[in-house]
């Protein structure tokens, strides 16, 4: 009973510290790891040449593995890389892959935009918004998340194009 009471009191104090800004809100969410990880220059160079370098935590390790094993047919593009680069990327991506609750299951076709958490986070975005010339698709994160190229998807940096 004492342990339960202490646990509830601890949670209340921690929540209070989050609310008044002493503890970062991201620390309060046990299902989240830090979104920003040290960027691997090779990943940035190879992947961000065509799209933003999606943070590895957005997909589970199994999805990253399938994507790397299918680079010659990477969503209609030949994104083949030499074996040493693939190995380096695989090690880094799986090391930082999403392992927390919201990303534990691989989305359809290993697409971030088809994951349950992505759909939940974007449920208020209208179909018309996705079709705006400045947006074009849900995969174009930078259109609304102005700091996404730096791995920062914080809501305070969202600007919906008109």
pLDDT digits (tens, 9 = 90+) for 53-79: 999 999 999 999 999 999 999 999 999
pTM: 0.73
For residue 54, give the nearest of 11, 92, 1, 82 by alpha carbon.
92
pLDDT digits (tens, 9 = 90+) for 8-64: 554 555 454 445 544 444 433 433 444 568 889 999 999 999 999 999 999 999 999
Query: Do residues 161 and 125 touch, judged by C-beta distance below 8 A?
Result: no
Crossing angle (nearest 10°) for helices 61-69 and 83-95: 170
Beta strand segments in the chain, E: none
Query: Do residues 31 and 53 touch, judged by C-beta distance below 8 A?
Result: no
Write out the two tokens for 7. 């646990």
């Amino acid at each position: 009973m004492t342990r339960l009471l202490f646990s509830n009191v601890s949670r209340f104090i921690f929540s209070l510290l989050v609310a008044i800004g002493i503890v970062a809100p991201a620390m309060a969410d046990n299902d989240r790891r830090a979104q920003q990880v040290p960027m691997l220059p090779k990943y940035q160079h190879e992947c961000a040449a065509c799209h933003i370098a999606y943070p590895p935590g957005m997909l589970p390790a199994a999805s990253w593995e399938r994507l790397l094993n299918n680079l010659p047919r990477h969503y209609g593009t030949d994104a083949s890389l030499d074996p040493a680069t693939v190995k380096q990327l695989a090690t880094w991506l799986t090391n930082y892959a999403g392992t927390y609750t919201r990303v534990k299951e691989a989305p359809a076709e290993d697409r971030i935009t088809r994951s349950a958490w992505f759909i939940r986070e974007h449920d208020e975005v209208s179909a018309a918004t996705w079709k705006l010339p400045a947006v074009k698709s849900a995969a174009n994160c930078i259109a609304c998340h102005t700091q996404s190229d730096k791995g920062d998807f914080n809501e305070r940096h969202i600007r919906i194009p008109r």
